[in-house]
Structure 1
Amino acid sequence: MIRTEGLTKHYGRITAVEDVGLDVREGDVYGFLGANGSGKTTTVRMLLGLVLATSGTIEVLGRPMPSSGRAVLPLVGSMVEGPASYPGLSGRTNLALIDASGPGGDRATRAGRIDDALAQVGLEGVDKRPVRAYSLGMRQRLGLAAALLRRPRLLVLDEPTNGLDPQGIREIRQLLVDLNAAGTTVFLSSHLLAEIEQMCTRVGVLDRGRLVLQDELAHLQRPTGRTVVRTPDTDAARALLDGHVEHQEGDTIWVRADDPLALNAALVGVGVRVLELAPERRTLEDVVLEAAERSGDRR
């Protein structure tokens, strides 16, 4: 769905993006993660042909960009750097103008598509209100509605939950998951680890303009080979597991063990009270920090 090779952008002597090779596959919910200022928005703008790359190649939906923009963009819904709108016009009128001005807008189906998009983002009750009266979160929802107008094969979203309250974030997260389940590939740029971790299937991490990590989220968070055990009987547990305990904090011990079920049976069998026992998995935060440190060491 999206593939880049050697994607680089210079602004004078400043390198905003360097040698980025994205691989976004059909059916992905791809999380493009990086701190503010890491080059995420510049990358997204290049993907959509809004900014020309200094060097490198871009393919979107199997077609080169930006040269194939007229054929590709009607199949892509996007929101970059917040939604644009005419403040004095209603949300519905803004969507009608956006649909009419873009390539591939079908006038015969416009009203129905606007109704569907407004309903999907929860704005159907306020669609006739002028946008100047919208909160930041409502404007963000309107931008998402605009991205959904053409029922796209690919959604490219830059910080889509910016300005939303927790309930709104949950609703948008569920919307994106549902759209993906119905066949839409989602490319989600964000600086929020929790947002990426809760909904994405693949992750790319950008650090100071370079892609330092790209993999399946499930693979990144695979078990470490250690088991976390919480018990009030730590002394008895340590005595039984002599040589296999690698760390302890209070009533929690980390044990090098291949079979958590066998470990639990062994502990319970000698009377150790097990309050919690589970394989240890790496957090996305751990993975990202390690990748950034490795990248810094190579510079």
Structure 2
Amino acid sequence: MIRTLGLTKRFGRITAVDAVDLDVREGDVYGFLGANGSGKTTTVRMLLGLVLATSGRMEVLGEQMPGAGRRVLPQVGALVEGPAAYPHLSGRRNLALFDAMGRGTERRTRRARVAEALERVGLDGVDDRPVHAYSLGMRQRLGLAGALLQGPRLLVLDEPTNGLDPQGIHEIRTLLLELNAAGTTVFLSSHLLAEIEQLCTRVGVLDRGRLVVQDQLSALQGLTGRVEVHTPDVARVRQLLNGVVEHADGERLLVRDADPAALNARLVGAGVRVRELVPERRRLEDVVLAATSASADRFGSDRGADGHRAHGEAEVLER
């Protein structure tokens, strides 16, 4: 659905996106994770033809971009850098205008399409107040409704839960999963690790413009070779498993063992009260921190002593 090769964007002397090779497959919920200023929005804008790449190649829906934009973009729903709308018009009127500019839309069914899009994002009960009176969360929902209006094959969303309360975040997450289950591929750009971890099946991590991780979430969260054991009999376990208990925190122990079932049988057989025993998996947070640290060691840091990017880079990247 999205494939890039050496995708690069420079702003003068600043390299905002550095030789990125994206691989987004049909049916993915792809999480494009990175800190603010890492180059995520610049990458998304290139994919949609809003910014021209300095070098590299990119395909969207199997066609070269930006050349095939007229054929490709009508099949892509996008929300980038916040929703665009005429502030003096209502959300309903904005969506009707947006639909009128869409590909081959029928006027007689426009009202129904707009009503359905508003309902899907929880704005069906909103009156005809102008968009300038909307809260940030309402404007974000309206932007998502616009992205869904014409039944896209691919959704490209940049921070779609920005400004939403926890209930709203849950509703949008549920909606995106439903759309994906119905066949829509979702490309979700976010700086929120928890959002990516709960929603996505495949993850790419961008750090200082470089793609430092890209894999299935299940592979990134693979087994560590340790087992987490919860028991009140800590001293007994330490004595029984001398040398392989690597960490203890209250009644929680981390034991180096590749066979949880055999370990459980051994502990229970020795009279240990095992309250819980589960294989430990890598946390996405640890994977990201390790990858970004390795990237900094390899390429050097472009941050100043205060932790900000030199030469105003953070401001440039996310515009």
Q: Shared topology, TM-score over 0.5?
A: yes
Q: More deviation in 280-289 or 244-253?
A: 244-253
Instruction: Tell me the equivalent position of 1:81.
Output: 81
Counterpart check, 1:281 vs 2:276: no
Instruction: Tell me the equivalent position of 1:122.
Output: 122
User: In 2 relative to 1, CA 16–104 (structure 1 residues): closer, same or farther, beyond 3 Å?
Assistant: farther
Deviation for aligned residue 1:116: 1.2
Q: Give the alignment's Cα RMSD to 1 decimal.
A: 1.1
Deviation for aligned residue 1:2: 0.2
Question: Which one-letter code corresponds to 1:42 in the other structure?
Answer: T
User: In 2 relative to 1, CA 102–283 (structure 1 residues): closer, same or farther, beyond 3 Å?
Assistant: same
> 1: CA distance between counterparts of 2:120 and 2:263?
48
Taking the TM superposition and a 5 Å limit, the aligned residue runs for 1:1-299 are 1-126=1-126, 128-299=128-299
Deviation for aligned residue 1:127: 5.1
> 2: CA distance between counterparts of 1:235 and 1:197?
35
Q: TM-score, normalised by structure 2?
A: 0.92
Q: Percent identity?
A: 74
Question: Which one-letter code corresponds to 2:151 in the other structure?
Answer: R
> 2: CA distance between counterparts of 1:104 and 1:21?
33
Question: Which one-letter code corresponds to 2:293 in the other structure?
Answer: E
> 1: CA distance between counterparts of 2:76 and 2:207?
26
> 1: CA distance between counterparts of 2:293 and 2:108?
54
> 1: CA distance between counterparts of 2:210 and 2:221?
22
> 1: CA distance between counterparts of 2:197 and 2:257?
26
> 2: CA distance between counterparts of 1:187 and 1:241?
46
Question: Which one-letter code corresponds to 1:128 in the other structure?
Answer: D
> 2: CA distance between counterparts of 1:151 and 1:165?
26
Deviation for aligned residue 1:151: 0.3
Deviation for aligned residue 1:126: 0.6
Deviation for aligned residue 1:95: 0.4
SS at structure 2 position matched to 1:139: helix
For structure 1, which runs of at least 5 residues remain unmatched after alignment?
none
> 2: CA distance between counterparts of 1:254 and 1:122?
44
For the Cα contact (< 8 Å) 1:2–1:23, is it kept in 2?
Answer: yes
For the Cα contact (< 8 Å) 1:73–1:103, is it kept in 2?
Answer: no
Question: Which one-letter code corresponds to 1:79 in the other structure?
Answer: L
Q: More deviation in 78-87 or 252-261?
A: 252-261
SS at structure 1 position matched to 2:46: helix
Question: Which one-letter code corresponds to 1:66 in the other structure?
Answer: P
Q: TM-score, normalised by structure 1?
A: 0.98
Deviation for aligned residue 1:108: 3.6
Deviation for aligned residue 1:221: 0.3
Instruction: Tell me the equivalent position of 2:304.
Output: none
Could you give the per-residue CA deviations for residues 115-143 of structure 1, whole angstroms, max 9, x where no partner exists?
Answer: 11111001011152211221110100000
Deviation for aligned residue 1:103: 4.0
SS at structure 2 position matched to 1:52: coil
For the Cα contact (< 8 Å) 1:118–1:127, is it kept in 2?
Answer: no
Question: Which one-letter code corresponds to 1:25 in the other structure?
Answer: R
Deviation for aligned residue 1:49: 0.2
For the Cα contact (< 8 Å) 1:74–1:104, is it kept in 2?
Answer: no
Question: Which one-letter code corresponds to 1:257 in the other structure?
Answer: D
> 2: CA distance between counterparts of 1:108 and 1:63?
32
Size of the aligned set, in residue pairs, is 299
For the Cα contact (< 8 Å) 2:102–2:150, is it kept in 1?
Answer: no
Could you give the per-residue CA deviations for residues 215-241 of structure 1, whole angstroms, max 9, x where no partner exists?
Answer: 000000011110011212111001111
Could you give the per-residue CA deviations for residues 160-198 of structure 1, whole angstroms, max 9, x where no partner exists?
Answer: 000000000000000000000000000000000000000
Deviation for aligned residue 1:275: 2.1
> 1: CA distance between counterparts of 2:85 and 2:8?
30
For the Cα contact (< 8 Å) 2:83–2:143, is it kept in 1?
Answer: yes
> 2: CA distance between counterparts of 1:11 and 1:71?
29
> 1: CA distance between counterparts of 2:109 and 2:66?
27
Instruction: Tell me the equivalent position of 2:314.
Output: none
SS at structure 2 position matched to 1:31: strand
Deviation for aligned residue 1:101: 2.4
Deviation for aligned residue 1:105: 3.5
Deviation for aligned residue 1:104: 4.1
